[in-house]
């Protein structure tokens, strides 16, 4: 041990003197080591404890008390200021905090902190549940978009009840299924099935549209052979969108007019 901390006190309390130049991480490590080695000397006495030397925040004091409790069998009833104390004052404090119906300041603080955290968790859970209820009342899950980053390689299958945004390519042999719409910020060269629960208002968008197959609700289509040849010959691709028109799948260049026809 490096002598960062030292102890003084009496049978009713201990004061932990902390070196001024030590970091809090060093203080924690030294405290754990010190009380672990001295645990047999302390027994299970009920005491008050205090800290001198390096100034500590309330949170740091509480953390050090927790470390001491974890590494020895002392029953720490309260935290005191030992600078102006006497043994009689320590004795009165220990007797006061040892009453069965008394909750120490530290325990009360921990209880209030736990209660506040529980309340926050409960409020967060209620808010999340309310969002689910509101969404169930006002729409369906297909209107929520989930993101996937990376290429969908051959043999890979992605299946979501929500809409999908793919940040990558759908390679030949890759398949994506969505109850909502599919937006591909890359090339579509595999299979894309949107509106799989019967939503004919769903659409498929891709920066490079060259699919093996596209399906929207119960309608099936694919890019024409001429489109595939153009895609293979031309490195510059124009964004296209596939949607249901006149009871069939139409693949069109993206334009303001086409976007205005989309029903969400």
State how far Cα 250 lies from the chain centre. 41
Please state which of the ranges 110-124, 141-155, 209-223 shows the lowest mean pLDDT. 110-124
Q: How confident is the model at residue 25 (pLDDT cuts 50, 70, 90)?
A: very high
Examine the pLDDT at 196 and tell me if it is beyond 50.
yes
| Average pLDDT of the segment spanning 53-74 | 88
* Average per-residue pLDDT for the chain: 78
> What tokens appear for 50 in the block?
């205090």
Which residue has better confidence, 140 or 216?
A: 216
* Cα–Cα dist 232/214, whole Å: 19
Examine the pLDDT at 219 and tell me if it is beyond 70.
yes
Helix, strand or coil, per DSSP, at residue 66 = helix
pTM beyond 0.85: the answer is no
* Cα–Cα dist 184/145, whole Å: 12
* Cα–Cα dist 18/171, whole Å: 63
What DSSP element (H or E) covers 241?
strand 240-245
Asked if 107 and 101 count as a contact pair (C-beta separation under 8 A), the reply is no
> Phi and psi of 234, rounded to 5°?
-115, 125
Query: Which residues are paired to 167 by β-bridges?
Result: 149
Q: How confident is the model at residue 166 (pLDDT cuts 50, 70, 90)?
A: very high
Which residue has better confidence, 7 or 228?
A: 7
Helix, strand or coil, per DSSP, at residue 49 = strand
Spatial neighbors of 226 by CB under 8 A, at least 6 apart, are: none
Q: How confident is the model at residue 100 (pLDDT cuts 50, 70, 90)?
A: very low
Q: How would you list the strands of the sheet with 182-188, edge to edge?
A: 145-149, 163-167, 182-188, 203-209, 240-245, 248-253
- 243-264 burial by CB neighbour count: b if 16+ within 10 A, else e? bbeeeebebeeeeeebeeeeee
Out of 68-77, 83-92, 97-106, 185-194, give the one with best mean pLDDT: 185-194
């Amino acid at each position: 041990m490096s002598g960062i901390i030292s102890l003084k006190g009496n049978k009713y309390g201990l004061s932990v003197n902390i070196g001024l130049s030590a970091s809090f991480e060093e203080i924690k490590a030294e405290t754990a080591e010190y009380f672990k080695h001295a645990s047999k000397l302390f027994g299970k006495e009920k005491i008050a404890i205090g800290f001198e030397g390096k100034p500590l925040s309330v949170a740091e004091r509480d953390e050090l008390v927790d470390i001491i409790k974890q590494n020895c069998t002392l029953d720490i009833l309260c935290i005191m200021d030992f600078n102006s104390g006497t043994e009689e004052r320590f004795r009165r404090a220990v007797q006061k905090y040892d009453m069965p119906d008394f909750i120490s300041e530290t325990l009360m603080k921990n209880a209030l902190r736990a209660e506040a955290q529980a309340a926050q968790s409960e409020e967060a859970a209620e808010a999340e549940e309310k969002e689910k209820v509101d969404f169930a009342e006002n729409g369906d899950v297909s209107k929520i978009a989930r993101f996937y980053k990376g290429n969908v390689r051959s043999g890979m299958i992605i299946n979501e009840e929500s809409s999908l945004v793919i940040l990558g390519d759908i390679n030949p042999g890759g398949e994506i299924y969505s109850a909502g719409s599919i937006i591909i910020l890359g090339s579509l060269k595999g299979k894309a099935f949107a509106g799989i629960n019967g939503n004919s208002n769903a659409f498929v968008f891709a920066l490079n549209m060259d699919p093996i197959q596209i399906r929207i609700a119960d309608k099936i289509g694919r890019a024409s052979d001429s489109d595939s040849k153009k895609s293979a010959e031309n490195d510059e691709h124009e964004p296209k969108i596939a949607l249901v028109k006149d009871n069939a799948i139409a693949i069109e260049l993206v334009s303001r007019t086409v976007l205005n026809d989309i029903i969400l």
